[in-house]
Amino acid sequence: MKIEKLDHVGIAVEKLDSALPIWEGVLGMVLAGTEEVVEQKVRTAFLPLGGSEIELLEPTDPESPIAKFIAAKGQGVQHLAFRVADLDAALAELKAKGVRLIDEAPRRGAGGARIAFLHPKSTGGVLIELCERG
Protein backbone atom coordinates (compact mmCIF):
# COMPACT_ATOMS: atom_id res chain seq x y z
CA MET A 1 0.00 0.00 0.00
CA LYS A 2 1.30 3.43 -0.88
CA ILE A 3 -0.09 6.54 0.78
CA GLU A 4 -0.02 9.35 -1.77
CA LYS A 5 -0.69 12.32 0.48
CA LEU A 6 -2.47 13.67 3.51
CA ASP A 7 -5.87 14.21 1.92
CA HIS A 8 -7.50 16.03 4.80
CA VAL A 9 -7.72 16.46 8.55
CA GLY A 10 -11.21 15.89 9.95
CA ILE A 11 -12.26 18.15 12.79
CA ALA A 12 -15.42 17.60 14.83
CA VAL A 13 -17.36 20.79 15.56
CA GLU A 14 -20.69 21.39 17.23
CA LYS A 15 -21.76 23.94 14.61
CA LEU A 16 -20.16 24.90 11.31
CA ASP A 17 -21.48 28.43 11.79
CA SER A 18 -19.54 28.75 15.05
CA ALA A 19 -16.39 27.08 13.73
CA LEU A 20 -16.02 28.83 10.38
CA PRO A 21 -15.22 32.27 11.84
CA ILE A 22 -12.11 30.68 13.41
CA TRP A 23 -10.91 28.98 10.24
CA GLU A 24 -11.87 31.77 7.85
CA GLY A 25 -11.80 34.86 9.98
CA VAL A 26 -8.91 34.16 12.37
CA LEU A 27 -6.77 31.80 10.25
CA GLY A 28 -7.64 33.33 6.88
CA MET A 29 -8.50 30.11 5.11
CA VAL A 30 -11.05 30.02 2.29
CA LEU A 31 -14.21 27.93 2.41
CA ALA A 32 -14.45 25.82 -0.76
CA GLY A 33 -17.89 24.41 -0.06
CA THR A 34 -20.19 22.52 2.24
CA GLU A 35 -21.92 19.20 1.76
CA GLU A 36 -24.29 17.02 3.75
CA VAL A 37 -23.32 13.34 3.83
CA VAL A 38 -26.61 11.71 4.79
CA GLU A 39 -25.11 8.23 5.28
CA GLN A 40 -22.73 9.56 7.93
CA LYS A 41 -25.18 12.03 9.47
CA VAL A 42 -22.83 14.97 9.07
CA ARG A 43 -22.58 18.30 7.36
CA THR A 44 -19.06 19.01 6.13
CA ALA A 45 -17.18 22.15 5.19
CA PHE A 46 -13.94 22.06 3.21
CA LEU A 47 -11.10 24.52 3.45
CA PRO A 48 -8.25 23.68 1.04
CA LEU A 49 -4.72 24.08 2.30
CA GLY A 50 -1.61 23.37 0.23
CA GLY A 51 -2.98 20.35 -1.63
CA SER A 52 -4.76 19.02 1.45
CA GLU A 53 -7.89 20.18 3.18
CA ILE A 54 -9.32 20.90 6.56
CA GLU A 55 -12.67 19.10 6.81
CA LEU A 56 -15.03 20.43 9.46
CA LEU A 57 -17.69 17.93 10.52
CA GLU A 58 -20.96 18.96 12.15
CA PRO A 59 -23.33 16.22 13.33
CA THR A 60 -26.86 16.33 11.91
CA ASP A 61 -28.21 13.71 14.30
CA PRO A 62 -27.51 12.72 17.93
CA GLU A 63 -26.70 9.20 16.66
CA SER A 64 -24.03 10.53 14.33
CA PRO A 65 -20.52 9.19 15.05
CA ILE A 66 -19.41 12.82 15.21
CA ALA A 67 -22.04 13.64 17.85
CA LYS A 68 -20.82 10.69 19.90
CA PHE A 69 -17.20 11.78 19.47
CA ILE A 70 -18.00 15.31 20.70
CA ALA A 71 -20.01 13.93 23.63
CA ALA A 72 -17.06 11.76 24.68
CA LYS A 73 -14.06 13.96 23.88
CA GLY A 74 -15.31 17.42 22.99
CA GLN A 75 -14.67 19.29 19.78
CA GLY A 76 -11.34 18.86 18.03
CA VAL A 77 -9.25 16.76 15.66
CA GLN A 78 -11.20 13.59 14.91
CA HIS A 79 -9.39 11.81 12.09
CA LEU A 80 -6.57 11.93 9.55
CA ALA A 81 -7.37 10.97 5.98
CA PHE A 82 -4.73 9.52 3.69
CA ARG A 83 -5.17 9.31 -0.07
CA VAL A 84 -4.54 5.95 -1.72
CA ALA A 85 -4.78 5.05 -5.41
CA ASP A 86 -6.56 1.74 -4.90
CA LEU A 87 -8.70 1.54 -1.78
CA ASP A 88 -9.85 -2.06 -2.35
CA ALA A 89 -6.26 -3.26 -2.61
CA ALA A 90 -5.24 -1.22 0.45
CA LEU A 91 -8.04 -2.72 2.56
CA ALA A 92 -7.18 -6.26 1.43
CA GLU A 93 -3.53 -5.68 2.31
CA LEU A 94 -4.31 -4.24 5.75
CA LYS A 95 -6.75 -7.04 6.49
CA ALA A 96 -4.06 -9.58 5.59
CA LYS A 97 -1.75 -7.79 8.03
CA GLY A 98 -4.33 -8.22 10.77
CA VAL A 99 -5.30 -4.56 11.01
CA ARG A 100 -8.76 -4.05 12.46
CA LEU A 101 -11.04 -2.23 10.03
CA ILE A 102 -14.14 -0.23 10.88
CA ASP A 103 -15.21 -0.49 7.25
CA GLU A 104 -14.54 -3.86 5.65
CA ALA A 105 -15.75 -2.42 2.36
CA PRO A 106 -15.45 1.14 1.01
CA ARG A 107 -18.34 3.54 1.50
CA ARG A 108 -19.16 6.94 0.08
CA GLY A 109 -17.67 10.03 1.66
CA ALA A 110 -17.95 13.74 0.97
CA GLY A 111 -16.95 14.94 -2.48
CA GLY A 112 -17.80 11.59 -4.06
CA ALA A 113 -14.73 9.94 -2.56
CA ARG A 114 -14.61 6.24 -1.64
CA ILE A 115 -13.54 5.97 1.98
CA ALA A 116 -12.91 3.43 4.73
CA PHE A 117 -11.88 3.85 8.35
CA LEU A 118 -9.27 1.82 10.21
CA HIS A 119 -9.90 1.05 13.86
CA PRO A 120 -7.92 3.27 16.27
CA LYS A 121 -7.16 0.17 18.35
CA SER A 122 -4.93 -0.97 15.47
CA THR A 123 -3.30 2.42 14.86
CA GLY A 124 -2.16 3.60 18.25
CA GLY A 125 -5.28 5.58 19.00
CA VAL A 126 -5.45 7.58 15.75
CA LEU A 127 -8.63 7.31 13.70
CA ILE A 128 -7.36 6.92 10.13
CA GLU A 129 -9.49 7.25 7.02
CA LEU A 130 -8.25 5.99 3.68
CA CYS A 131 -9.75 7.71 0.68
CA GLU A 132 -9.69 7.20 -3.04
CA ARG A 133 -10.81 9.96 -5.37
CA GLY A 134 -11.77 9.27 -8.96
How far CA 3 is from CA of 6, 7, 11, 39, 42, in Å, comes to 8, 10, 21, 25, 26
Q: Which of 81, 84, 113, 128 binds Zn ion (CB under 5 A)?
A: 81
Minimal distance in Å, beta carbon 125 to Zn ion? 17
CB closer to Zn ion, 58 vs 129: 129
108: phi > 0 → left, psi -120 to 50 → alpha, else beta; which?
Answer: beta
CB closer to Zn ion, 25 vs 51: 51
129 is an interface residue for Zn ion by CB under 5 A: yes
Minimal distance in Å, beta carbon 21 to Zn ion? 22
Identity of the amino acid at 129: E
Instruction: Name the 3-class secondary structure at 36.
Output: strand
70 is an interface residue for Zn ion by CB under 5 A: no
45 is an interface residue for Zn ion by CB under 5 A: no
